[in-house]
Amino acid sequence: MFDDATATRGELRHGYAQVGRVRLHYVERGEGERLVLLLHGFPEFWYSWRYQLLALGERYRVVAPDLRGYNLSDKPSQRGEYRLGALVEDVVGLMRHFGVGEAAIVGHDWGALIAWAVAHDCPEAVWKLALLQTPPPGAWMKGMSLRQVLRAWHIIFFQLPWLPELAIRAGDFALLELVFKTTALKGTFTAEDIAAYKLALRRSLTAPLDYYRANRRLLLSALFAALRGQHSELRQQRVRVPTLFIYGERDFVILPQTVAHARDFVAAPYMETRLPTAGHWVQQEAPLEVNEALMRFLEMPF
């Protein structure tokens, strides 16, 4: 049976950081002055970065937290505690906990949205930014289509009370297992991996879903305002830190046309890596390629 403390190799260290009013669990590897933060998405936890912790930890101090509400981190009971601003504060607080003023931030799915917000709001705290699968918010809106709205149906479904929890928990999280087995490259997720994700969601499910509910206005405007041709400040936001965008082109949620304009929202050196055979779970489906792209980007002199 999966257990956080024993399911990792000896070189990975578990710890806790008190960040404001929440206590965040994290796993780290490596030493040095340069800090790399790995931010996971839904419905995952630190474990989604197991390959990157091992690889990047050879040269950097790499930390993968359980975001607030997930797995072993604190789970505030108020929905408003999961607004994007609070999630940004958690990331900056983690930097303070580790005694640094800046970090490279790597985010996937929800983690990418948080990483983007940190880079936009606190550019002085980010020396490199890497986004996996989720493009900049402005690019998301610029590439929006009815087909993309339909692919992102879960954002609307998760606004409902209790029904998403009921559907996801049914049959010992059968839906979660189905998604992992049918949307990723064959062999990506072992039975142990799926058991790990189930355990994390048994510990907390409503809190991860509250990310969608607490940020309802932001998410729904990104979906529907673009279709109606309405202006949004998201379409004007650009970051001014070196940025890498990694995209698995077989993503079952985020379409290629939706990420086509990612470069337009970065006013700094920009790199992009496309992986034609990988999908949404890119850092787990193609860990060697993702690790190589991240290492090459982090070592660039800009």
Residues belonging to the active site? 109, 212, 280
Cα separation of 48 and 293, whole Å? Answer: 17
Q: What Cα–Cα distance (Å) separates residue 88 from each residue in 67, 93, 119, 124, 203? A: 11, 9, 9, 14, 23
Q: What is the 3-state secondary structure (H, E, C) of 14-38?
A: EEEEEECCEEEEEEEECCCCCEEEE
Cα separation of 245 and 274, whole Å? Answer: 8
Cα separation of 166 and 179, whole Å? Answer: 16
- Closest by CA position to 279, among listed 144, 181, 177, 153: 181
Contact residues for 203 (Cβ-Cβ < 8 A; gap 6+): 71, 72
Contact residues for 100 (Cβ-Cβ < 8 A; gap 6+): 33, 35
Residue type, 6: T
What phi and psi values does residue 7 have, to the nearest 5 degrees?
A: -90, 10
Report the residue count for the chain: 302
